[in-house]
Amino acid sequence: MSAVKIGIIIGSTRPGRVGDQVARWVLEQAQQRTDAEFELVDLVDFALPHLDEPLPPAMGQYAQPHTKEWAEKVDSFDGYIFVTPEYNHSTSGALKNALDFVYGEWNNKAAGLVSYGSVGGTRAAEHLRLILGELQVADVRQQVSFSLMTDFENYRTFTPAGYHAGMLAAQLDQLVPWAAALRTVREAGELSQAA
């Protein structure tokens, strides 16, 4: 069986964002492990417009090239770490849009949440858990939250407290086995459809 693949999705596309710094830190920490492969996925690279597909995503009949590219990327992973800012007590519109663009490619995967904001982005993460449930993504309990006031210098430069590495390690200890287990669920579903 090939290695479990986890996509670390940068959930902000705003100019001057700090989420890319957080995501790179997550990647550096995660790459110290040998039980999975990790890849940064930047929503900026996909330039998804606001929901321009003529059919609902659950039908899986994508017409737009950007949707097909996004679907292929999402489908290539067994699990995800969503790095989300908190905007107005929720996740970013860019991440919500990216989640809404496809459907089946998210199903029966696992996810961990890393959030940041004035109160650690915890409200964004809680909202994101509801969205992931509808997409049939199993989110793990352990969350990593960063405060703009204490984990960033001048609200701009990421300087995480040391204890966050342990919290992320605990999240990955939950996420990687769940991602592997759900791979077997997807494979069983594929076998039953082929029969």
pLDDT in tens, 1-18: 689 999 999 999 999 999
Mean residue pLDDT across the chain: 96
pLDDT at position 190, please?
Answer: 75
Q: Tell me the per-residue pLDDT of 53-79, one tens digit each, with 9 for 90 and over.
A: 999 999 999 999 999 999 999 999 999
Give the integer Cα–Cα distance in Å for 152 and 1: 40
CA angle, corner 68, sides to 84 and 192, nearest 5?
Answer: 95
Cα–Cα distance measured from residue 173 to residue 128, given in angstroms and rounded to the nearest whole number: 21
Question: Residues 148-180: pLDDT tens digits?
Answer: 999 999 999 999 999 999 999 999 999 999 999
Average pLDDT on 113-129 reads 96
pLDDT band at 191 (very low <50, low <70, confident <90, very high): low
Calculate mean pLDDT across residues 129-139: 98
> Which domains does the chain show, CATH number per domain?
4-194 (3.40.50.360)
Band the pLDDT of 141: cuts 50, 70, 90: very high
Average pLDDT over residues 122-146: 98
The alpha-helical segments, DSSP class H, found in the chain are 19-30, 65-75, 93-101, 122-134, 163-194
Confidence of residue 193 (pLDDT cuts 50, 70, 90): confident
- For position 1, what pLDDT does the model report? 65
pLDDT of residue 188: 87
- 68-91 average pLDDT score: 97
CA 118 to chain centre: 20
Percent of the chain with pLDDT over 90: 94
pLDDT digits (tens, 9 = 90+) for 29-41: 999 999 999 999 9
How large a percentage of the chain has pLDDT more than 70?
97
